[in-house]
């Protein structure tokens, strides 16, 4: 059991992936996601899979942590596999019952779709696991400031994200505590019909929201007390640097994306 | 009729860099009618221990036996477990959600299927125990003062009348008079309902008053376990756990060192110590009396 570790929470160890510039990791993740959406056949997905295995290998993370990210979505992954197997015709018929038939094409397509999902989840959690929330939002702010001339509030968006990320572990811990406290008072969360189960969540959600509002107010006062006035004229403690390894990582990712594009146009 | 904790160990987040050994081979037996204080530095495992005792956190090793019933087994009778134990988390006032004080108090009792008369009886009994006026019943729990909120938060768990009442930092952030009221309620409850009360605290002065027994945790291990006077005489051991002996007990130790014949267990609480010192001072004033120095 992973107590007090939110899914995708930064896992601070030393590794090549940890040491990359956050901007590199954000851009590479976006490029990779684009490639996953483009990849239409299993050979291409195999290449993408190898690429992400390589990344996982360079990240020095225990499997337990990666599995924790996939676990909550395991039913959606299975569901994708089954639905695609059932609704896609073509190829040899493997199994038939009444009006339901499963074809070989369907199985292949199901595997394709669910592996896409797995790769997407794996890489996005890789990004958050290897990057501290501060570095992540710093990188995001720098990337988004490209749109500043168009009036995009890059700093404000980044600050909101920083705060949201900061409070995910706090609120999940608080939620768990309230959940336990109401269990002791006799709430049975896993009993009764759907309506009763939803009702049993009220004693958890109301205190959780009240707590979140209380924290928000405290935080606002603390920020004002330190003269926070938005992004204008703010210096930064950590400067981001783009190194050789960032160049290599981006080139590699671009290469994979190009390969996918070529495969796509050829087929 | 005891709560046995036997060789409890708990490892959180195994195989990651967040691994913590929260409890190490913790063993003790709680007897009904006694107030036990669990003390220890922040992070020593006090809250975790209470949760394991209340059936909320599966231990890695060891067992909890509640009135002969083993917890964390397939056959464990969960409703019986909930009926026997009550756990009040730190800051119980952060769990309020009902519209009125009355409903907040009734919530747990309703879940248990008590009759309306019983609910009213239990609720008003606990309001009185905590010195909360019955006129507050129809108020919103969020309109109460800080001290009243804490008392209500605790009363909610007391109203369930558990035979094993576990309280996590019930005194945290209370003013002296609030602390006195809560401590009094704890003593009365333990005697009146023959309940085993466990209260967690990191302040030694607070608990010296009410505890019949002290269990000192240090890094998940039981460092000391015994009546307050015995625990307080282990000043150097307590220092290793980052704890300080209450002022009066240091005074007693000093008196004894200077040749004052004081028996073990003669002084067991701040109040007794206070009376002893007062007596000594009065005697010292009288001509021809012995000089304690
Ligand atoms: N949610 C959690 N996730 C990970 N570790 C935890 C969590 N809660 C407590 N711990 C760890 O377990 C140990 C005991 O904590 P706790 O029981 O809360 O101590 P105490 O109540 O005495 O301050 C500490 O080392 C703490 O870091
Ligand atoms: Mg605690």
Q: Any idea which residue has 């009360």 for tokens?
A: B197
Answer whether B45 contacts ligand 1 (Cβ < 6 A).
Answer: yes
Q: How many separate helices (H) and strands (E) can be counted in chain A?
A: 11, 2
pLDDT for position A231: 76
Interface test with B, best of A13, A181, A190 (most B CBs within 10 A): A181
Q: Please check whether residue A183 touches B, CB under 8 A.
A: yes
pLDDT tens digits, A85-129: 888 877 777 777 777 777 888 888 888 899 999 999 999 989 989
Q: What is the DSSP string of B92-137?
A: GGGG--SSSHHHHHHHHHHHTT--HHHHHHHHHHHHHHTT--GGGG
Give long-range contacts, CB 8 A cutoff, 24+ apart: B134-143: B136/B101, B137/B100, B137/B101, B137/B102, B138/B100, B138/B101, B138/B102, B139/B100, B139/B101, B140/B99, B140/B100, B140/B101, B141/B93, B141/B96, B141/B98, B141/B100, B141/B101, B141/B104, B142/A210, B142/B96
Q: Are B204 and B217 in contact, with CB atoms under 8 Å apart?
A: no
CB atoms within 10 A of CB B160: 24
- Please state, in angstroms and rounded to a whole number, the distance separating the CA atoms of residues B72 and B84: 15
Residue among B13, B58, B94 whose CB faces A211 most closely: B94
Answer whether B269 contacts ligand 1 (Cβ < 6 A).
Answer: no
Dihedral, CA of residue A115, residue A117, residue A118 and residue A119, to nearest 10: 90
For residue A184 the two structure tokens come to 């002791």
Rounded average pLDDT over A238-262:
91
Q: Do B16 and A11 touch (CB under 8 A)?
A: yes
Residue of A nearest to B54 (CA): A184
Residue A208 to residues A48, A167, A253, B105: CA-CA distances in angstroms? 41, 12, 41, 19
Answer whether B12 contacts ligand 1 (Cβ < 6 A).
Answer: yes
Closest listed residue to residue B8, CA positions, set B224, B227, B222, B198: B222
Q: Please check whether residue B198 touches A, CB under 8 A.
A: no
For residue A66 the two structure tokens come to 């990666």
Question: Is the pLDDT assigned to residue A1 strictly greater than 50?
Answer: no
Q: Are A5 and A61 in contact, with CB atoms under 8 Å apart?
A: no
> ipTM, 2 decimals?
0.88
Q: Which residues pair with B167 in a beta bridge?
A: B88, B199
Burial B261-275 (b: 16+ CB within 10 A, else e): eeeeeebbbbebbee
**Low-confidence residues in chain B, pLDDT < 70:** 264-270, 286-293
pLDDT tens digits, B122-147: 999 999 999 999 999 999 999 999 99
Residue among A13, A65, A202 whose CB faces B97 most closely: A202
- Please state, in angstroms and rounded to a whole number, the distance separating the CA atoms of residues A22 and A19: 9
Q: Distance (Å) from the C-alpha of residue A58 to the closest C-alpha of chain B? A: 17
pLDDT tens digits, B86-116: 999 999 999 999 999 999 999 999 998 999 9
Question: Is the pLDDT assigned to residue A42 strictly greater than 80?
Answer: yes
Q: Please check whether residue B184 touches A, CB under 8 A.
A: no
pLDDT for position A109: 87
For residue B186 the two structure tokens come to 């704890």
Chain A positions touching B168 (Cβ under 8 A) are none
For residue A150 the two structure tokens come to 């168009």
pLDDT for position A9: 78
- Please state, in angstroms and rounded to a whole number, the distance separating the CA atoms of residues B37 and B284: 35
Residue among B51, B95, B160 whose CB faces A182 most closely: B95
Chain B positions touching A12 (Cβ under 8 A) are 17
Q: What is residue B21's three-state secondary structure? A: strand
Q: Which residues pair with B154 in a beta bridge?
A: none
Answer whether B42 contacts ligand 1 (Cβ < 6 A).
Answer: yes
Per DSSP, helices labelled H in chain B are 46-53, 78-84, 101-111, 116-129, 146-158, 176-192, 204-208, 228-232, 235-240, 247-257, 270-285
Q: Any idea which residue has 């094993």 for tokens?
A: B164
């Amino acid at each position: 059991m992973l107590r007090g570790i939110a899914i995708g929470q930064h896992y601070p160890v030393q590794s090549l992936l940890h040491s990359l510039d956050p901007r590199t990791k954000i851009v590479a993740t976006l490029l990779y996601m684009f490639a996953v959406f483009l990849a239409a056949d299993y050979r291409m997905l195999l290449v993408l899979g190898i690429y992400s295995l390589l990344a996982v290998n360079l990240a020095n993370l225990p499997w337990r942590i990666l599995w924790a990210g996939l676990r909550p979505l395991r039913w959606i992954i299975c569901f994708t596999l089954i639905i695609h197997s059932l609704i896609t015709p073509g190829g040899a018929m493997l199994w038939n019952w009444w009006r339901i038939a499963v074809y070989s094409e369907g199985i292949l397509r199901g595997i394709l779709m669910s592996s896409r999902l797995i790769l997407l989840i794996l890489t996005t959690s890789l990004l958050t696991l290897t990057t501290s929330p501060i570095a992540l939002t710093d990188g995001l702010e720098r990337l988004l400031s490209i749109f500043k001339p168009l009036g995009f509030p890059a700093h404000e968006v980044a600050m909101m994200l920083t705060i949201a990320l900061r409070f995910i572990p706090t609120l999940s811990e608080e939620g768990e505590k309230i959940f336990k406290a109401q269990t002791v008072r006799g709430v049975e969360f896993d009993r009764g019909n759907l309506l009763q189960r939803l009702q049993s969540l009220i004693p958890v959600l109301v205190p959780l929201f009240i707590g979140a509002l209380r924290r928000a107010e405290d935080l606002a006062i603390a920020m004002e007390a330190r003269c926070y006035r938005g992004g204008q004229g703010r210096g930064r403690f950590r400067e981001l640097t783009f190194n050789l390894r960032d160049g290599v990582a981006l080139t590699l990712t671009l290469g994979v994306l190009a390969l996918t594009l070529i495969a796509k146009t050829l087929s | 009729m005891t709560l046995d904790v036997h060789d409890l160990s708990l490892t959180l987040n195994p195989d990651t860099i967040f691994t913590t050994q929260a409890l190490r081979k913790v063993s003790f037996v709680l007897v009904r009618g006694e107030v036990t204080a669990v003390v220890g530095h922040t992070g020593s495992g006090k809250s975790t221990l209470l949760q394991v005792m209340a059936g909320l956190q599966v231990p890695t090793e060891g067992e909890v036996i509640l009135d002969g019933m083993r917890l964390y087994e397939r056959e464990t009778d969960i409703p019986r477990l909930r009926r026997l134990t009550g756990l009040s988390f730190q800051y119980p006032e952060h769990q309020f959600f009902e519209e009125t004080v009355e409903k907040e108090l009734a919530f747990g009792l309703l879940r248990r299927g008590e009759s309306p008369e019983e609910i009213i009886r239990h609720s008003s009994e606990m309001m009185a125990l905590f010195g909360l006026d019955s006129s507050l019943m129809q108020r919103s729990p969020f309109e109460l003062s800080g001290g009243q909120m804490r008392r209500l938060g605790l009363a909610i768990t007391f109203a369930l009348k558990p035979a094993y009442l576990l309280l996590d930092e019930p005194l945290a952030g209370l003013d002296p008079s609030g602390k006195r009221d809560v401590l009094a309620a704890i003593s009365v409850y333990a005697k009146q309902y023959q309940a085993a009360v466990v209260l967690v605290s990191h302040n030694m002065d607070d608990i010296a008053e009410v505890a019949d027994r002290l269990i000192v945790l240090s890094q998940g291990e039981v460092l000391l376990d015994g009546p307050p006077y015995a625990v307080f005489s282990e000043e150097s051991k307590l220092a290793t756990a980052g704890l300080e002996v209450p002022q009066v007990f240091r005074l007693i130790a000093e008196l004894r060192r200077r040749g004052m014949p004081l028996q073990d267990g003669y002084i067991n609480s701040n109040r007794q110590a206070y009376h002893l010192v007062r007596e000594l001072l009065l005697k010292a004033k009288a001509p021809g009396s012995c000089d304690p120095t």
